[in-house]
Each structure stands twice: as structure tokens, then as C-alpha cells.
């Protein structure tokens, strides 16, 4: 990713309530993206829930099936990113 893409992504995330964008105190150019208190509370609540759900799903699969599922999900995620990048490029034209 280029720096403008990262910066634009951070500015877009700031539009959502759980995130806050602050200017770096060291030089005033850098930005720091942080969760708000409410966002951090939601995150803390979601992590145990996600871990519990993952454990429940894993119980129904063998180790090799679980590994295969994770690899398939990684491939799907990579493909979605390619499609999104293509769609974003087409929208910019």
C-alpha cells in the first residue's frame, strides 16, 4: 500500500465511532489511529466471544479439516481483497 492509501484508509476509519485519529506529538505529521473507550470495550467483549465460537467450531473438525478450513479462508480473503482492489480501481476511473 502506498502512504496516501494508508492515510485515506485511516481518515475513513475515523468516521466510525469506535476509532479516533490523533496527530503525533513528535512532528505533527504522523497520525495515530486508536480505539475510543467505547470501541475498546466492544473489542474486549468480542475477543472472548470470538474465541469461544472458534473453539466450538474446531470441536466438530479434525485437525487436518481445521487446517484445511483456515487455508481455504485465507485464500478466500486474498481473493476478496483482489476483487475489492479491482472494484476500487474501476470506481476511480
Q: Given this model, what pLDDT does residue 40 score?
A: 84
Residue 44 grid coordinates: 474486549
As a whole number of angstroms, the distance between CA 35 and CA 16 comes to 10
CB neighbours of 69 closer than 8 A, spacing ≥ 6? 61
Low-confidence ranges of the chain (pLDDT < 50): 1
Q: What is the DSSP letter of 1?
A: -
State pTM to two decimals.
0.51
Q: Give me the residues paired with residue 21 across strands.
A: 33
As a whole number of angstroms, the distance between CA 33 and CA 11 comes to 9
Amino acid at each position: 500500500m502506498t502512504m496516501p492509501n494508508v492515510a485515506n484508509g485511516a481518515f475513513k476509519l475515523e468516521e466510525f465511532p469506535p476509532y479516533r485519529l490523533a496527530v503525533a506529538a513528535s512532528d505533527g505529521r504522523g497520525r495515530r489511529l486508536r480505539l475510543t473507550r467505547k470501541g475498546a470495550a466492544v473489542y474486549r467483549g468480542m475477543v472472548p466471544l470470538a474465541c469461544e465460537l472458534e473453539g466450538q467450531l474446531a470441536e466438530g473438525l479434525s485437525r487436518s479439516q481445521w487446517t484445511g478450513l483456515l487455508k481455504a479462508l485465507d485464500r478466500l480473503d486474498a481473493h476478496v481483497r483482489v476483487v475489492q482492489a479491482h472494484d476500487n480501481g474501476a470506481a476511480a476511473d
